[in-house]
Amino acid sequence: MSTKHTIAAEKFLQNSEKVTRHDQTFWSVRVKRDAQSQELPEWEELREAASQIKKHTITHLAEYLEKFEKNATKNGAIVHWAKDADEYNEIVMDILHKHQVKKVVKSKSMLTEECHLNDHLIKHGIDVVETDLGERILQMMHLAPSHIVMPAIHITREQVGRCFEDYKISPEVGNYDPTYLTRCARYHLRDNFMTADCGMTGGNFGIAETGDIVVCTNEGNADMSTSIPKLHIVSMGLEKLIPDYKAMGVFHRLLARCGTGQSTTVYTSHFRGPRPGGEMHIILVDNGRSKILGNEEHWQTLKCMRCGACMNTCPVYRRTGGYSYTYFIPGPIGINLGMLKDPDENYHNLPACSLCCSCDNVCPAKVDLSSQIYRWRQGLDGMGHADPMKKFMSKGMQVLFESPGLYTTALKFAPIANHLPKFITEIKLNGWAQGREMPVFAKQSFHELWKKGKVKA
Amino acid sequence: MSTRDEILDNLRKNVRETYDMPDLGFKKRIFEDPVKAFIETTTTTAGAKLMEIKPNDDINEKIHEAYPDAKIISSNVPGIKADRNPDTVAEAQDLDGTDVGVIMGGVACAENGCIWIEQTMKEKAICFISECLIVIVSKKNIVSNMHEAYEHIQFNEKYNFGTFISGPSKTADIEQSLVYGAQAARGLTVFLTE
Ligand code: SF4
Ligand code: SF4
């Protein structure tokens, strides 16, 4: 059985040059992340702290939200609550109407993507300009993000250059130099900042104790968006709340190191109230989050801070690209969030995982990503999507991993697979095997080599 | 029931087990010489320049030395000869075209070059719209890591805004090539005072 992911992945894989570039790009970010983590002796303590702070906050979220609301209101912000995407979009439109807004400058927010805000605004005649360079490129090309932190990294400089020529923001036809193109975008976006009536941002963190909204960017576009227009609208998922500055110190040290391999983003801005003479609105969005909290097996997805590290490391994501997944958030966390949002549409992504556990090891909040994917697969038959072959394989893996004796035996016999006829090991009966050759097992297993003293520690 | 109460109600209903806030007292990396580490980070990974300012230096001359071609300087810092003042311009837009903005920094962090900028001017746009930025940092305000930095940040109640800035605006959105000056300041120079 093929799923939408395997079919799309097959297409992506046809352009081997593109696959290699994609793979190497994200791997290089993973390498940078490793270097950052090795610089800090307290790295693992930071991750553990982040995980526990999130667990604590999420399981006391009602109290923290009330505290946040109280403090933000005291600071002069106006707090709104939205139970779903429709209510959220309406609240935004209401605010914009009240202020007779014609043009909105937006800094990157996955939540607005989740709620399809842009379509809603455009339908109501609002001019929406994305200001993160990557997002702006995608908006001009009518494409969706393929990664949550580096949304347009799959687009080549030539494509960007030609797009800018079409939009008349690149006067030098044929100049595809990234510095030149970035400069063109700078002037183009400046014009938009100058004339916008409203700036919209997401929120990387909300701080209950002070009412701050914290936004992290490298370009400074969230700051440009909120320094010129007088109206600022923040959209934030409920789970972005943290207790206080002590917690913020922990998350600050992890976010950029994990996401892009930098020790910090260039800007970490704390918005604690409206500009003089302006208005600041904060919309707290549920859209399924409170329900996830009640899901015993998957509530820990709420610990996610959307850093993107799990995508960068995932061998399947790196080699199949963001568009192969059916959910707008791809990669390990996207597989899980997609299942929580709409399993009938997104079970297609479940095969996009080799259970290598690399994602678990890089996640700064210790979300148990691969175990969750495994649990979804086990639950597939209950949903009527189980494929007997997959069930068999998953069960087999479970038995193997759960009985160490059998695992050792299996490893010893694994080299036999090297001599099996190719049509068996490359079996195309099912979605799992498609596009995956059987791994070639070493003639002597690691265990055996170790015992014989051939491996030196 | 209002949406707010409905959400809070669901959140309370759906919690099964609660967890305590962890102890954050674990040992954090500190530098033997935070000033030296700050200079190193600022001038390498953060991509900024740095000039040490001695007590007898003329700061306006130093600004000229840092940016000899600058025509329009904006600042509200006392003693700086500025063409525009973020406190007195009518609109934020009036600061567009600023070649060099000069602002005061607060606590600064050695591990990543972050400098806390407390908004103390009417138009914070000066911190972002200027082509280049000069941030004045005192050596006394340099700490090792972000845990310490967060203990020291200040907010002006009138403006309710502050930001950590580490170097010039950056992007790598086009084929991962690092470019300075995507949207905000294209260059940043730290004036390090005693
Ligand atoms: S466990 Fe699965 S989802 Fe996670 S990195 Fe490995 S292949 Fe990707
Ligand atoms: S699951 Fe973890 S690694 Fe993946 S985006 Fe979220 S916080 Fe980052």
> In chain A, which residues have their Cβ closer than 8 Å to the Cβ of B176?
25, 28, 150, 153
Indicate which ligand has the atom closest to the C-alpha of A319. Answer: 1
Q: How far is the CA of A362 from the centre of ligand 1 (A)?
A: 11
Rounded to whole angstroms, the Cα distance separating A442 from A426 reads: 18
Interface test with A, best of B11, B29, B96 (most A CBs within 10 A): B11
pLDDT tens for each residue of B103-154: 999 999 999 999 999 999 999 999 999 999 999 999 999 999 999 999 999 9
A–B CB contacts, 8 A cutoff, strictly below: 238
Residue B129 domain-assigned (yes or no)? yes
Q: How far is the CA of A359 from the centre of ligand 2 (A)?
A: 8
Q: Which residues contact A278 (CB under 8 A, 6 or more apart)?
A: A229, A230, A231, A232
**Amino acid present at B63:** I
Asked if residue A377 and residue A266 are part of one domain, the reply reads: no
Rounded to whole angstroms, the Cα distance separating B111 from B45 reads: 10
CA A153 to chain centre: 14
pLDDT of A380: 78
Block residue for tokens 């989740």: A114
Asked if residue A180 and residue A50 are part of one domain, the reply reads: yes
pLDDT of A419: 40
Convert A59-73 into a string of H (helix), E (strand) and C (coil).
CCHHHHHHHHHHHHH
Residue B79 domain-assigned (yes or no)? yes
Asked if residue A264 and residue A205 are part of one domain, the reply reads: yes
Number of domains in chain A: 3
Asked if residue A273 and residue A182 are part of one domain, the reply reads: yes
Q: What is the residue range of B144's domain? A: 31-193
Asked if residue A142 and residue A207 are part of one domain, the reply reads: yes
**From residue B88, how far is each of A168, A209, A218, A299 by CA, in Å?**
36, 33, 29, 51
Q: Is the pLDDT of residue B47 over 90?
A: yes
Asked if residue A50 and residue A146 are part of one domain, the reply reads: yes
**Which residue out of A363, A368, A371, A372 has the highest number of ligand 2 atoms within 8 Å of its CB and is therefore the one to mutate?**
A363
Residue B6 domain-assigned (yes or no)? no
Asked if residue A270 and residue A176 are part of one domain, the reply reads: yes
Asked if residue A155 and residue A120 are part of one domain, the reply reads: yes
Asked if residue A178 and residue A322 are part of one domain, the reply reads: no
Instruction: Express the helix, strand and coil content of chain A in percent, nearest 5 each.
Output: 55, 10, 35
Residue A296 domain-assigned (yes or no)? no
Q: Using the 8-state DSSP alphabet, how is residue A132 labeled? A: S
Rounded to whole angstroms, the Cα distance separating A57 from A113 reads: 25
SS3 B101: strand
Residue A103 domain-assigned (yes or no)? yes
For ligand 1, atom 6, the nearest C-alpha belongs to A356
pLDDT of A11: 87
Mean pLDDT of the region B154-177:
94
Rounded to whole angstroms, the Cα distance separating A213 from A230 reads: 17
Q: What is the residue range of A342's domain? A: 4-9+302-383
CA dihedral of B172, B173, B179, B183, whole degrees rounded to 10: -120
Mean pLDDT of the region B163-169:
97
Q: Using the 8-state DSSP alphabet, how is residue B84 labeled? A: B
Residue A33 domain-assigned (yes or no)? no
Rounded to whole angstroms, the Cα distance separating A26 from B124 reads: 35
Looking up residue B120, the CATH number of its domain turns out to be: 3.40.50.10420
- Min Cα distance B56 → chain A (Å) is 32
Residue B136 domain-assigned (yes or no)? yes
Higher pLDDT, B61 or A378: B61
Asked if residue A431 and residue A345 are part of one domain, the reply reads: no
Nearest to A345 by CA among A378, A385, A302: A385
Which tokens in the block code for residue A397?
Answer: 């893996």
Characterise A142 by phi-psi region: left (phi > 0), alpha (psi -120 to 50), beta (else): left
Residue B182 domain-assigned (yes or no)? yes
Asked if residue A137 and residue A63 are part of one domain, the reply reads: yes
> In chain B, which residues have their Cβ closer than 8 Å to the Cβ of A194?
93, 96
Residue list, ligand 1 pocket, CB within 6 Å? A 313-316, 332, 353-359, 369-370, 373
Q: Residues for chain A: how many in total?
A: 457
Cβ neighbour number for residue A351 with a 10 Å cutoff: 26
Residue B101 has φ and ψ, to the nearest 5°, of -105, 135
Indicate which ligand has the atom closest to the C-alpha of A372. Answer: 1
- Min Cα distance B58 → chain A (Å) is 29
Residue A86 domain-assigned (yes or no)? yes
**Which residue out of A303, A310, A353 has the highest number of ligand 2 atoms within 8 Å of its CB and is therefore the one to mutate?**
A310
How would you classify the pairing of strands B108-109 and A205-207? unpaired
Minimal Cβ distance to A186: which of B6, B153, B181: B181
Rounded to whole angstroms, the Cα distance separating B25 from B15 reads: 27
pLDDT of B86: 98
Question: Is the distance from CB of A293 to CB of A110 less than 8 angstroms?
Answer: no
pLDDT of A360: 96
Asked if residue A421 and residue A366 are part of one domain, the reply reads: no
- Give first-to-last CA distance, chain B, whole Å: 59
Number of domains in chain B: 1
Ligand 2, residue A359: give the atom nearest the CA.
3
Residue B108 domain-assigned (yes or no)? yes
pLDDT of A387: 60
A185 CB near a chain B CB, below 8 Å? yes
Question: Is the distance from CB of A286 to CB of A82 less than 8 angstroms?
Answer: yes
What's the average pLDDT block by block, 10 residues per block, for chain A (457 residues)? 86 89 94 96 98 98 98 98 97 97 95 95 96 96 94 94 96 96 95 96 98 97 96 98 98 97 97 94 98 95 97 95 94 96 93 95 97 90 60 46 43 42 37 44 50 50
Which tokens in the block code for residue A396?
Answer: 């087999």
Mean pLDDT of the region B43-62:
96
Ligand 2, residue A259: give the atom nearest the CA.
8
Rounded to whole angstroms, the Cα distance separating A414 from A439 reads: 10
Residue A388 domain-assigned (yes or no)? no
Question: Is the distance from CB of A338 to CB of A22 less than 8 angstroms?
Answer: no
